[in-house]
Amino acid sequence: MAQWDRLDVDGSSMRLFVGMPSLGRAFPAVIVAHHGPGVDKFIEDRVEHLAQQGYLAIAPDLYHRQTEDGDMVTRIGRLRDPEVITDVNAAVNYARRLKDTQLGDVGIIGFCMGDGSPT
């Protein structure tokens, strides 16, 4: 079962959608980097599916430093690589600190934040 949690990152409260496997105490983890719309139903479904397959899955809200104004393209444009790296590392550290679990390998998957089509 997946649920929302929060973590302080650089003085900002970052939401995390966390899916925990139902069996065992030791498992690999997958950090799920969201697509342009953010952590929406599509991303939540990916987290839940990964948890059902035996992975600890965590989707950090990479927009947590931003206000919610602006369209998706504007919000994507506000993201900065060093902040995204900090957020992903914070999600991995969150996984390492979970009680009664033993973290195995950690991977990351992501979804396109733009179609990249020529105009």
Report the predicted TM-score, pTM, of the whole model to 2 decimal places: 0.90
User: Is residue 28 classed exposed, middle or buried when 0-12, 13-18 and 19+ CB atoms within 10 A define those classes?
Assistant: middle
Which comes out higher in pLDDT, residue 116 or 94? 94
Confidence of residue 2 (pLDDT cuts 50, 70, 90): very high
Architecture of domain 2-110: 3-Layer(aba) Sandwich (3.40)
| pLDDT tens-digit series, residues 72-97 | 989 999 999 999 999 999 999 999 99
**Secondary structure, 3-state, 56-117:** EEEEECCCCCCCCCCCHHHHHHHCCHHHHHHHHHHHHHHHHHCCCCEEEEEEEEECCCCCCC
In the predicted model, what is the mean pLDDT of the chain?
91
